[in-house]
Structure 1
Amino acid sequence: MLSKPARWWRAAAAVAAGGLPCLAFPAPALWWFAYVALVPWMLLLRSAPTGRRAALEGWLGGAGFILAVHHWLLPSLHVFLVPLAALLGLLWIPWALLVRELLGGDGAGGRAGAALALVPAAWLLSELARSWQGLGGPWGLLGASQWQVPPVLRLASVGGVWLVSLLVAAVNCAVVLLIVAPAARVPAVAGLTGCAVLTGVVWLWVPRPEVSGGLRVAVVQPGLVADGPDSADRRFAAGERLTRGLAGQHPDLVVWGESSVGADLTARPDLARRLAALSAEVGAPLLVNVDARRPPAETGTAGGAGRTAAAGGTGGSGDPGIYKSAVMVGPQGPTGARYDKMRLVPFGEYIPARALLGWATSVGKAAGEDRVPGDSPVVMDLPGRPDVRLGPLVCFESAFPDMSRHLAREGAGLLIAQSATSSFQHSWAPAQHASLAALRAAESGRPMVHATLTGISAVYGPSGERLGSALPTSASTAALYEVPIARGTTLYVRFGDWPVGAALAVLAVYCAAAGVRSFRAGTPAPEPTAPRARTARG
Structure 2
Amino acid sequence: MQKKQSKKQGEQGKQGRQGERFISLLPCLIALASGIFMGLTVAPVGAWLLAWIAIVPLWVLVVTSAKRKNQSPPAPSSPSTPPALFWGIGYHGVALSWITGIHPMTWLGVPWLPSLLITLFCWGFISLLGGVFVSIWAAVMVRLNGHKPWLRILIGTAVWCGLESLWSAGPLWWSSLAYTQSPHNLVIVHLGQLSGPNTVTAAIAAVNGLIAEAYINRQDTKISSVSRQLLQVGEPAQRTGFSAPLRFVNKYLVIATGLLITLHLIGFILYSRPIAQLPEAALKVGIVQGNIPNRLLRSSEGFRRAQENYTNGYLTLADQGVDAVLTPEGALPIFQRNLLGTALVAAVKEKGVVAWIGAFGERGDSYTISLFTFNSQGEIVSRYDKSKLVPLGEYIPFEGILGGIVQRLSPLEAHQVPGSANQIFDTPFGRAIASICYESAFPEQFRRQAAAGGQFIVSSSNDAHYTASMPFQHHAQDIMRAIETDRWSARATNTGYSGFIDPHGRTLWISGYNTYETHAETIYRRQTQTLYVRWGDWLTPLLLISSGGAWLLIQLGHIEPI
Name the CA distance, whole Å, in 2 between partners of 1:159 and 1:362. 40
**Residues 1:66 and 1:215: Cα distance change in structure 2 (over 3 Å):** same
Residue in structure 2 matched with residue 429 of structure 1 by the alignment = 470
Scaled by the length of structure 2, the TM-score of the pair is 0.78
SS in 1 for 2:88: helix
Residue in structure 2 matched with residue 31 of structure 1 by the alignment = 48
1:60–1:89: 8 Å Cα contact kept in structure 2? yes
2:232 aligned with 1:192, yes or no? no
2:360 aligned with 1:291, yes or no? yes
2:467 aligned with 1:450, yes or no? no
Query: Which deviations, in whole Å up to 9, do the C-alpha atoms of 1:192-235 show, x marking residues without a partner?
Result: 31342244245337965544332111111011436242223322
Q: Within 5 Å, which residues of 2 pair with 1:154-173?
A: 154-173=190-209
Name the CA distance, whole Å, in 2 between partners of 1:203 and 1:32. 17
Residue in structure 2 matched with residue 389 of structure 1 by the alignment = 431
Q: Which runs of 5+ in 2 are unaligned?
A: 1-16, 70-76, 103-117, 222-248
Residue in structure 2 matched with residue 130 of structure 1 by the alignment = 167
Q: Within 5 Å, which residues of 2 pair with 1:14-163?
A: 14-48=31-65, 49-50=68-69, 52-76=78-102, 77-80=118-121, 81-100=123-142, 111-134=148-171, 136-137=172-173, 139-148=174-183, 149-163=185-199
**Residues 1:175 and 1:360: Cα distance change in structure 2 (over 3 Å):** farther
1:246–1:282: 8 Å Cα contact kept in structure 2? no
Moved more, 439-448 or 182-191: 182-191
Query: Which deviations, in whole Å up to 9, do the C-alpha atoms of 1:309-344 show, x marking residues without a partner?
Result: xxxxxxxxxx43121011011332232311111111
Residue in structure 2 matched with residue 4 of structure 1 by the alignment = 21
Moved more, 490-499 or 79-88: 79-88
1:351–1:367: 8 Å Cα contact kept in structure 2? no
Name the CA distance, whole Å, in 2 between partners of 1:205 and 1:223. 37
Name the CA distance, whole Å, in 1 between partners of 2:322 and 2:82. 56
Name the CA distance, whole Å, in 1 between partners of 2:408 and 2:334. 28
**Residues 1:82 and 1:444: Cα distance change in structure 2 (over 3 Å):** same
2:533 to 481, 490, 493: 493
Residue in structure 2 matched with residue 459 of structure 1 by the alignment = 500
2:346 aligned with 1:277, yes or no? yes
SS in 2 for 1:326: strand
2:151–2:550: 8 Å Cα contact kept in structure 1? no
Moved more, 66-75 or 175-184: 175-184
Name the CA distance, whole Å, in 2 between partners of 1:377 and 1:187. 45
Counterpart amino acid of 2:34?
A: A
1:341–1:394: 8 Å Cα contact kept in structure 2? yes
1:75–1:365: 8 Å Cα contact kept in structure 2? no
Name the CA distance, whole Å, in 1 between partners of 2:437 and 2:288. 15
**Residues 1:68 and 1:79: Cα distance change in structure 2 (over 3 Å):** same
Residue in structure 2 matched with residue 512 of structure 1 by the alignment = 552
Residue in structure 2 matched with residue 265 of structure 1 by the alignment = 336
What is the Cα deviation at residue 101 of structure 1?
A: 5.9
Residue in structure 2 matched with residue 222 of structure 1 by the alignment = 290
Q: Within 5 Å, which residues of 2 pair with 1:233-252?
A: 233-252=304-323
1:412 to 454, 465, 469: 454
Query: Which deviations, in whole Å up to 9, do the C-alpha atoms of 1:247-305 show, x marking residues without a partner?
Result: 3211111100001111123135312xx2333224554211011136x2xxxx3xxxxxx
Name the CA distance, whole Å, in 1 between partners of 2:131 and 2:402. 20
Scaled by the length of structure 1, the TM-score of the pair is 0.82
Q: Which runs of 5+ in 1 are unaligned?
A: 300-318, 522-538
Moved more, 205-214 or 470-479: 205-214
Name the CA distance, whole Å, in 2 between partners of 1:472 and 1:171. 36
Counterpart amino acid of 2:391?
A: P
What is the Cα deviation at residue 39 of structure 1?
A: 2.2
Name the CA distance, whole Å, in 2 between partners of 1:392 and 1:433. 15
Counterpart amino acid of 2:43?
A: P
1:278–1:331: 8 Å Cα contact kept in structure 2? no
What is the Cα deviation at residue 398 of structure 1?
A: 1.3
Q: Within 5 Å, which residues of 2 pair with 1:301-380?
A: 319-358=364-403, 361=406, 370-380=415-425
Name the CA distance, whole Å, in 2 between partners of 1:130 and 1:235. 36
1:142–1:168: 8 Å Cα contact kept in structure 2? yes
2:282 aligned with 1:256, yes or no? no
Provide the aligned C-alpha RMSD in A: 2.9
SS in 2 for 1:501: helix
Moved more, 35-44 or 508-517: 508-517
SS in 1 for 2:28: helix
Name the CA distance, whole Å, in 2 between partners of 1:226 and 1:487. 37
What is the Cα deviation at residue 376 of structure 1?
A: 4.2
Aligned-pair identity (%): 22
